[in-house]
Each structure stands twice: as structure tokens, then as C-alpha cells.
Amino acid sequence: MRCTVVGAGVSGLSCAIRLLETGYQVEVVSDKFSPDTVSDVAAAIWYPFLTAPADRADGWGLETYAELQRLANEVPEAGVKMRDGREYLRQVVELPSWGEEIAAFRTLESNEIPEGYVFGWEFRAPVIEMPLYMPWLKSKAERMGCTFRQGTIRDLSEVPGDLVVNCVGLGARELCDDKEVVPARGQVIFVEQDPGIGHFDQQPETLTYTIPRSDVTVLGGTAQLGDWDLEHRAEDDELILGKVEALWPDLDRSKIIGGTVGLRPSRSEVRLEVELIDGRVVVHNYGHGGAGVTLSWGCADEVASLVSQSA
């Protein structure tokens, strides 16, 4: 069976690999490829940030955690590393349902919590270095026989193949006329300084993170809904740096070397379902917001299983 995957971000490439592993012929068609996708801009740490629907997203997240942990241990060239991080909260909340399922999870002692916060937890999670991971995903798919074609799809019924997997992210706003998909603009800063562990406040209104990679630490963030601006804004840098300094007072601003902007494909919940278009199966897999990397392998597994059921 010939499957066409539309979109070459982390969702499309992960699905392509799972479909190739199942034995299907796969072509990826996309208007942009790495390093020009939103996925290339992701910071990126495994963390279920604003994920929905809750009943499915927890499973997708945990399956992805296991696969990324395996890559960290067995495939160093994939650019995934297990790192410790601390999440700080301004109120006491229930512990996350996935806490018991991941490594080194514990609640913080009061002397470990910065001023302005009252609660928090430490956790060990994969940090995915996207400048390494995206080319690795693409070359893995290529080695397995995947073909790639540059093109903009305007109508899913015109895509060749026996079955289509739709991973266009924000592109679904036009391609599927799905106005529920909106950009959540994210600006980040790169600094050549290592905080040791990651510091996080992942509430949407106060979103702050420091994610150490092997070469730089990624500082964020913003999540500006409905904002399409891809220009790097000085006022957002100031906002980010102020928030980061509250969690990491040792930040040295002289070590900043740049930054970038990306538009997360935000949606009230991920759309992962089958639709019949002109009698052919289309599996939609888009709208992952701020957690597309976190959910990538779990969603790809479900896509592959829906494809097998439809075959």
C-alpha cells in the first residue's frame, strides 16, 4: 500500500517512520522541510504542556517518553538527552497523572522553591535537540526507503497514494478550513551558559523555561495566541529575560548569542482521526500546540494502527 504523508515536521516524519516500519511504501510531500518547519524551532523538552484531549494525550505522552528515553540511551546521533528539570507553581495543585510513570519525579522541598512560587516538582525528561533530531528523523526515514517531494497541497483529494496522513500543523487552517487551528507565537533566546538543570514555569500566562542543550541553553518563552508575527521582538526578549532571571538569577546576559520565533499549531485538542474524503482514508494528525514533540511517537503509533485497520 502507498501512503502519502503531507507535512515534514516532527509529526509527519515520526508517522512516516512508523508506517515504513509496518511495511508500507511512504512518500512525504511538504511545502517546507527541516530546518524551515515549526518543529525545528521547538525548544524542546518532553513535557505535557497544554495537551488535550486529556484521556488520550497522557498515553501519547508516555509512549513518546519511552521512545525518546530509548533514543537517548541507544542512539546518541539522534540528539536526545535525559536531563533533570524543576517545575515551579504559584499555587498548590494535584500532582500530574504522569508523574509516577517517569524517572526521578519528586515534589520540591520549600527551600528549593524560588520567591513568588509555593510548590513544584523535579523530574527527569528527554531534551530533544531539534537541530540534530529533525535531520536525524529525515535521514532515518530516507534510509528506510521513504521518498520526499516538495509541494504545497491545496486539496487533500488530489494527493496521490492509497491513503493519506495529514500532518500539516498550522497549515490545516487553510487545507482543512479548520479555523480552530491558530498560531501560538513562541519567541526564544539562545545563551551560551548552562543552568545545570532546567527551570520551568509552564503555566500559559507566565510561561518560563531554560532548556540546556549541548551547545546552548534555550530561554523562553511566549505563547501569544493569534499572533502571526515571525519577527524577533526586543520587547519580548526583555519579558523573557525578566521571567528567566526570577528562576535563574545567575543568568549572564552577555552570553546571549541570538534567538528565533515559531508559530505553534494551537487547537483546543489534537485532531487525530480518520476521515473519508472521496472514498479514500485520510488520517488527520495535527493541532499539537506546544507539545508536538512530546506527543510525536504516541500519535505516530496511533496513526499507524488506524492505517493498518483501514488497509
Taking CB under 6 A as the binding criterion, the range among 15-23, 95-103, 248-256, 258-266 that sits at the site for ligand FAD is 258-266
With contact defined as beta carbons under 8 Å apart, do 61 and 48 qualify? yes
Taking CB under 6 A as the binding criterion, the range among 5-13, 65-73, 104-112, 275-283 that sits at the site for ligand FAD is 5-13
- 168 lies in the site for ligand FAD, by CB under 6 A: yes
- 290 lies in the site for ligand FAD, by CB under 6 A: yes
> What whole-number distance in Å separates Cα of residue 240 and Cα of residue 284?
34
Instruction: Give least dist CB 115 to ligand FAD, A.
Output: 25
> What whole-number distance in Å separates Cα of residue 208 and Cα of residue 191?
15
- 195 lies in the site for ligand FAD, by CB under 6 A: no
**Which of residues 294, 302, 304, 307 is near ligand FAD by CB under 6 A?**
294
**Which of residues 4, 39, 202, 224 is near ligand FAD by CB under 6 A?**
39
**Which of residues 3, 38, 176, 272 is near ligand FAD by CB under 6 A?**
38
- 208 lies in the site for ligand FAD, by CB under 6 A: no
- 288 lies in the site for ligand FAD, by CB under 6 A: yes
Residue 173 or residue 193: which is nearer to ligand FAD going by CB? 173
Instruction: Give least dist CB 93 to ligand FAD, A.
Output: 20
Taking CB under 6 A as the binding criterion, the range among 107-115, 155-163, 193-201, 261-269 that sits at the site for ligand FAD is 261-269
Residue 81 or residue 118: which is nearer to ligand FAD going by CB? 81
**Which of residues 17, 20, 26, 41 is near ligand FAD by CB under 6 A?**
41
Residue 69 or residue 294: which is nearer to ligand FAD going by CB? 294
Instruction: Give least dist CB 222 to ligand FAD, A.
Output: 8
DSSP string covering the chain? -EEEEE--SHHHHHHHHHHHHHT-EEEEEES--TTSSHHHH---B----S-SSHHHHHHHHHHHHHHHHHHHHH-GGG-EEEEEEEEEESS--PPPTTGGGSTT-EEPPGGGSPTT--EEEEEEEEEE-HHHHHHHHHHHHHHTT-EEEE---S-GGGS-SSEEEE--GGGHHHHT--TT-EEEEEEEEEES---SSEEEE--TTT-EEEEE-SS-EEEE---EET----S--HHHHHHHHHHHHHH-TT--GGGEEEEEEEEEEE-SS-EEEEEEETTEEEEEEE--GGGTTTTHHHHHHHHHHHHHHH-
Taking CB under 6 A as the binding criterion, the range among 79-87, 100-108, 166-174, 241-249 that sits at the site for ligand FAD is 166-174
> Where does this chain bind ligand FAD (CB under 6 A)?
6-12, 30-32, 37-39, 41-45, 152-153, 167-171, 175, 186, 188, 220-221, 262, 264-265, 286, 288-294
